A and B are shown apart, each in its own frame.
Chain A
Amino acid sequence: LSEFALTGENPKYKTTRDAASQTIINLARKDERIVVLDADLALSTKTVRFGNEFPHRFFDCGIAEHNMIGIAAGLATCGKVPIAATFAAFATGQVYNVIRQSIAYPRLNVTIYATHSGISVGGDGATHQMLEDLALMRSLPNFAVVAPSDATETSKAMEAAIENPGPTYLRIGREDEPDLFSDFDDFRLGKGVTLVDGSDLTIVACGTMVKQALAAARHLKKEGTSARVIDMHTIKPLDGALLEKAARETGAIITCEEHMVVGGLGGACAEELAQRYPVPMRFIGVNDMFGESGSAKDLIEKYGLAPKHVEEAARAVLLAARPAPAPRPAAASGRT
């Protein structure tokens, strides 16, 4: 882990989109099956660099996402390894049924690489703040769904997505993220990572919310609460074993995601734990509402995604998990 992840000091910010883009280029130099598609957002998703190096293997489809997804599927049937890139709102909701029929059902090896997810997109407002994509993509059979937390993990997740023989949805945000990992040799799709050990409760987070979970855990420690933090980068397939272990050992779970609380990481963890080992849970996420324009910082605060919100949830879940002992029955003296 980085110094920042351990102490909250000296954050080193990196653009996760740069990491994703560079990883695709590095792999494409060795594997000529890799092709990239974009839909007029190559400058934002950073796939433009791939296009500069491999002009014949880069297809800018214009503002036509349905066609982009279908072309990616057609390329995959011919043995290509396509990565289709655009903003999360357009990469999922806009084209859901094309993904469903042309990619998910035939189980084609396509990576959908979505940037600009979540409320921290900021000024573009609710139309561009995709908060339902994890729910949509998680519901599709055959799809793996991954939401990495920093540049290093994004790079690892992209490698894993391309290697995964089935379809993968890889989701990142727009903002630069502080390095959490100094290195990461054993990244595996479907295997969560315990970042901080703890015994009183567990905070399970993905994507941009992992850093908030770490900050909350540090603050809770000062109050004497020992919080475990898990980076659950893969929402599907979910690491149920790691989750159950956390539930058994700490007795309370909080999930954190820059997504609706409905259907995303929180929903996935609740479904798993309800059957494996139910414990009190709280869910940090956007609560059944659309976002709005604003700075990422202001919106994170307003929509309940800051470390302090995680800490409040921690206090609440602890109370539910270990209620204060009931007051003793009143003394018999009142009786006659």
Chain B
Amino acid sequence: MAHADHHTEDLLRDLALRAARLRKDIVQTVYDAGSGHPGGSLSCIDVLTCLYFHHLRHRQDEPKWSDRDRLVMSKGQASPALYSVLAMAGYLPHDELRTFRKANSRLQGHVEIKVPGVEFTTGSLGQGLSGAVGMALAGRLDKKDYRVYCVLGDGETQEGQIWEAAMSASHWKLDNLCAVLDRNGLQIDGPTEQIMSLGEIPKRWRAFGWHVVEIDGHDHNEILRAFHEAEHVKNMPTLILAKTVKGKGVSFMEGSLSFHGRPPNKDEYVKAMQELDDMIERAQTMMGVAP
């Protein structure tokens, strides 16, 4: 866990390359499975990359280390993103991603706790933040300084349980809790503002007693700064409102409703992989690594 407010170019280039490779893993995983949720995985992958490859205190060779920071993936359909990150971090063999959504695999369609590195089972939306509140309370009881992170979908915050949890986190002054709202603007049936308006999100969360930071959820520097800021907020939980693009990184998936919950077909797959290979190559060039 780094606390520097200024992030070196080397770090940002490393994160950019990792995020590009992870985007490719996500598309490959969903394509191999023949089903899954690429759009919302691609929108939150920059946040996950910054957490697992810089900010989060964790040990891939000791997943149950008691002092680790916890991450709850409340939007459990973004399993391709989390599983790709856990594979890159060394929690699971990279080849295991090919078993995603297949019988006898550990990698179920939605995120679950039996996978090393996963803290909480999710899938039916709205439940993760309560679990994160419980983990934050346990940390306080045990006088541990670990932090708890929770990634929320924006459509997910239409669930009432999210607001019960939000109320309790500020009531108990859980400054060791930080939620990230992946604001990609789309849910299955359409844009959130058409289906069930989320209104002025910062106002709503502030009214519930949260510190709110608004960022570009694809800008690694802003993401890291926001996590750093959250660590210094006292007596209240922090919500990072990460403005993102659903399907980010694959031109024809960006802002697409259709790729919420379907894999690319063969042609789309080939095109997506070409685009992501180009992205990886650019990132490598930036790092001075021969492609």
Binding site for B on A (CB under 8 A): 35, 56-57, 59, 61-62, 64, 66-67, 69-80, 82, 97-98, 100-102, 105-106
Q: Which residues of A contact B139 (CB under 8 A)?
A: 78
Known A66-B161, A106-B113; contact A74-B141, beta-carbon cutoff 8 A: no
B127 in contact with A101 (CB, 8 Å): yes
A66 in contact with B120 (CB, 8 Å): no
A-B contact pairs, 7 of them (CB 8 A): A57-B141, A71-B130, A71-B131, A78-B135, A80-B141, A98-B130, A106-B121
Distance in Å: Cβ of B168 to nearest Cβ of chain A: 6
Interchain CA distance A77-B119 in the complex, whole Å: 7
Closest residue of B by beta carbon distance from A37:
B134
In the complex, which of the residues A62, A73, A98 contacts B168, with contact meaning CB atoms closer than 8 Å?
A62
Interchain CA distance A67-B160 in the complex, whole Å: 9
Known A66-B160, A70-B165, A106-B113; contact A77-B123, beta-carbon cutoff 8 A: no
The 4 A-B pairs of least Cβ separation, nearest first, read: A74-B134, A70-B130, A78-B138, A67-B164
A73 in contact with B120 (CB, 8 Å): yes
Known A75-B137, A77-B135; contact A105-B112, beta-carbon cutoff 8 A: yes
B134 in contact with A70 (CB, 8 Å): yes
Closest residue of A by beta carbon distance from B76:
A101
A71 in contact with B137 (CB, 8 Å): yes
Interchain CA distance A72-B127 in the complex, whole Å: 12
Q: Which residues of A contact B129 (CB under 8 A)?
A: 70
Q: Which residues of A contact B114 (CB under 8 A)?
A: 106
B130 in contact with A66 (CB, 8 Å): yes
B130 in contact with A77 (CB, 8 Å): no
Q: Which residues of A contact B142 (CB under 8 A)?
A: 78
Q: Most chain-A Cβ atoms within 10 A of its Cβ — which of B72, B113, B123?
A: B113
Interchain CA distance A193-B160 in the complex, whole Å: 43
Closest residue of B by beta carbon distance from A63:
B164
Q: Which residues of B contact A72 (CB under 8 A)?
A: 134
Closest residue of B by beta carbon distance from A56:
B141
B236 within 8 A of A: no
Interface positions, chain B 97-138, Cβ under 8 Å from A, are 112-114, 119-124, 126-138
Binding site for A on B (CB under 8 A): 66, 72, 112-114, 119-124, 126-139, 141-142, 160-161, 164-165, 167-168, 172
In the complex, which of the residues B72, B123, B168 contacts A61, with contact meaning CB atoms closer than 8 Å?
B168
Q: Which residues of A contact B132 (CB under 8 A)?
A: 74
Q: Which residues of B contact A78 (CB under 8 A)?
A: 134-135, 138-139, 142
B138 in contact with A80 (CB, 8 Å): yes
In the complex, which of the residues A35, A57, A79, A98 contacts B127, with contact meaning CB atoms closer than 8 Å?
A98
A75 in contact with B112 (CB, 8 Å): no
B168 in contact with A74 (CB, 8 Å): no
A67 in contact with B133 (CB, 8 Å): yes
Distance in Å: Cβ of B276 to nearest Cβ of chain A: 33
A74 in contact with B130 (CB, 8 Å): yes
Q: Which residues of A contact B133 (CB under 8 A)?
A: 67, 70-71, 74
Closest residue of B by beta carbon distance from A103:
B121
B112 in contact with A106 (CB, 8 Å): yes
Interchain CA distance A57-B134 in the complex, whole Å: 12
Interchain CA distance A73-B164 in the complex, whole Å: 15
In the complex, which of the residues A73, A79, A105 contacts B130, with contact meaning CB atoms closer than 8 Å?
A73
Q: Most chain-B Cβ atoms within 10 A of its Cβ — which of A35, A71, A76, A77?
A: A71
Interchain CA distance A80-B140 in the complex, whole Å: 12
Interchain CA distance A66-B128 in the complex, whole Å: 11
Q: Which residues of B contact A56 (CB under 8 A)?
A: 141
A101 in contact with B138 (CB, 8 Å): no
Q: Which residues of B contact A75 (CB under 8 A)?
A: 134-135, 137-138
A74 in contact with B164 (CB, 8 Å): no
Distance in Å: Cβ of B171 to nearest Cβ of chain A: 8
A98 in contact with B161 (CB, 8 Å): yes
A70 in contact with B113 (CB, 8 Å): no
Interchain CA distance A220-B182 in the complex, whole Å: 67
Distance in Å: Cβ of B163 to nearest Cβ of chain A: 9
In the complex, which of the residues A67, A76, A82 contacts B165, with contact meaning CB atoms closer than 8 Å?
A67
Interchain CA distance A59-B164 in the complex, whole Å: 14
B131 in contact with A73 (CB, 8 Å): yes
A102 in contact with B121 (CB, 8 Å): yes
Closest residue of B by beta carbon distance from A72:
B134
Closest residue of B by beta carbon distance from A108:
B113
Q: Which residues of B contact A59 (CB under 8 A)?
A: 137, 172
Closest residue of A by beta carbon distance from B139:
A78
